Chains A and B, each alone.
Chain A
Amino acid sequence: MHAGFLFLVTGGIIQFWFGDKQLVMIAEGTGEFIERFHIKILLHDFSIIRNKKGEIINYRSDLELRDTSNRTLICAPTMVNAPLKYHSLYFYQMNYGCLPDAVERFSAVVVDSTGDTLFSGAIPFKTTFPLGNKNLSLQCNYFLCDFYYDFESRTPVTRSREHINPAFKVTLWRCGSAIDSQWVFQKFPAMNSKIGRYSIAIVSYDPSFFSGIQVQKKPWTSLILLGIICVSIGLLIVFLFPLYRKG
């Protein structure tokens, strides 16, 4: 039992001195190179897993690890309570959030000057999407989650990372040439929504996520586990079979 404690303390000291960790925020579909671990992490997908009642039961990041020569080492998910392990590296799902400057898709309604609805549906971000059969297409390449016009730099920026005033810069195309571009505000549909003789409203959108992955180097974890096993067995022997001690 006391040898087990020695293993535990030794393993703890080794991890304290030689262990290392770094938190990285990775947007969906992108990657991050972590220099101190010589490894690149790609986040293919982030998803929130819910049960039938709609309660969140887990967060899942589908990761791919690559070495410095861009060779795939492992492709596996990491979830809360189920970290991805690669040799002495552990990848933990720590947090997540919505990206401030990108969305997955948005739902738009396009109405012409007569009041007829030309289009109503979902459009993927950064994709030129045809609207019905009038040779019109719509595209959104820019998104700001909390739109604010910076008068100093004379550019629109996002004031925070919160989705307080989501704005979409949409371009309406006819026969392959742009009619005009306009910032359309989801929460203020009456404002700034006309392009030519068409009115555009953003009804809803699916945000793009980033995932916070904590990478930890934990050498000699097996020593700590061995210590736990030794102490547990020792305790059981001492307390469940006390007669051996009395003898």
Chain B
Amino acid sequence: MAGAFLFHTVGIFLRTREFQHLPVTTMFEYMLVAAWFGALCYFVIIKFVKNWFVSACNVIVIVMLMVIVSLLPKEGSSALMPALRSYWLYIHVTSAAASEGLFGIGCASSILYLIKTRLCPVNCLYAKIPELALLDEITYRSITVGYLLFTLGALFAGALWAHKAWGSFWSWDPKETCSLIVWMIYSGYLHIRINRRSIGLMPHFLSIAGFMAALLTFFSTLLLGGMHSYG
């Protein structure tokens, strides 16, 4: 995993050097960076959680992201359109990719949480899956950091950039609308989790729904077009 992460990092570095800008301008590059953040989270998790089963599940999420990456057009260009030649690009896109990587981790641990609640204690898999409290903590912490990055970086930095480049903070573009849905789902998760201190199933359903909505947000420009259709 460390070797793969190293190659991934070198790949991002080489692409940055080739095109003279961070690889965050096409869907391929965006997913590549999101998967890189997911892999970074993997190392954080194995440092603090030290559970091979959780690590293996996170690897599945990263592999899933990399499969999506491999299916996307890989062409790049050093010639950025003027609207993208802004420092906001790096703030906005990098934090959005990082937050989606973290939401992916949250989704994986929520799935494990739901599986464990459905399993019988005598099942051999039951013992291998970490304690529910630990899974809940992983979900909560990854979503907490992801939500912060998503709100500040993806939504607010995006709105401020749109105000400068497009003339309005919010345009109800398909990607913006889908992002708002993602944000509302995770806001719901955090309100339930923080205020009611609930350890029930609802927050985990929201965590999974949030990541599914985040994937829909990613594909919304392919399916619906809009102002975010850059590449």
Q: Do A and B come from one complex?
A: yes
| Chain A residues with a Cβ under 8 A of chain B | 12, 15, 21, 53, 55-59, 79-83, 90, 92, 94, 214, 216, 221, 224, 228, 231-232, 235-236, 238-239, 245
Q: Tell me whether A81 and B165 are in contact in the complex, defined as CB-CB below 8 angstroms, given that A228-B159, A232-B152 are known contacts.
A: yes
Stretch at the interface among B82-90, B104-112, B199-207: B82-90
Bound complex: CA A204 to CA B10 (Å): 47
Q: Which of A81, A90, A228, A239 contacts B85 (CB 8 A)?
A: A81
Bound complex: CA A58 to CA B85 (Å): 8
Q: Mark out the residues of chain B between 153 and 168 whose CB falls within 8 Å of any chain A CB in the assembled complex.
A: 156, 159-161, 163-168
Whether the Cβ atoms of A55 and B79 lie closer than 8 Å is yes
Bound complex: CA A235 to CA B85 (Å): 29
* Interface residues of A, dominant DSSP: mixed
Whether the Cβ atoms of B165 and A80 lie closer than 8 Å is yes
Nearest-CB residue, chain B, relative to A214: B167
Task: Report the tally of A-B residue pairs with Cβ distances under 8 A.
Answer: 62
Bound complex: CA A94 to CA B166 (Å): 8
B-side interface residues, number (CB < 8 Å): 28
By a CB distance below 8 angstroms, the chain A residues around B151 are: 231-232, 235
Does B194 touch A at the CB level, under 8 Å? Answer: yes
| Chain B residues with a Cβ under 8 A of chain A | 78-83, 85-86, 88, 144-145, 147-148, 151-152, 156, 159-161, 163-170, 194
Whether the Cβ atoms of B83 and A81 lie closer than 8 Å is yes
Bound complex: CA A25 to CA B170 (Å): 24
By a CB distance below 8 angstroms, the chain B residues around A21 are: 167
- 4 extra A-B contacts, CB within 8 A, seeds A81-B165, A83-B167: A80-B82, A80-B85, A80-B165, A83-B164
Q: Tell me whether A59 and B144 are in contact in the complex, defined as CB-CB below 8 angstroms, given that A21-B167, A232-B152 are known contacts.
A: no
Q: Tell me whether A228 and B156 are in contact in the complex, defined as CB-CB below 8 angstroms, given that A58-B82, A236-B148 are known contacts.
A: yes
By a CB distance below 8 angstroms, the chain B residues around A12 are: 169-170
Bound complex: CA A56 to CA B78 (Å): 11
Q: Which of A57, A83, A245 contacts B82 (CB 8 A)?
A: A57
By a CB distance below 8 angstroms, the chain A residues around B161 are: 81
Shortest distance from the beta carbon of A46 to any chain B beta carbon, whole Å: 14
Whether the Cβ atoms of B164 and A228 lie closer than 8 Å is no
By a CB distance below 8 angstroms, the chain B residues around A80 are: 82-83, 85, 165
Bound complex: CA A90 to CA B159 (Å): 16
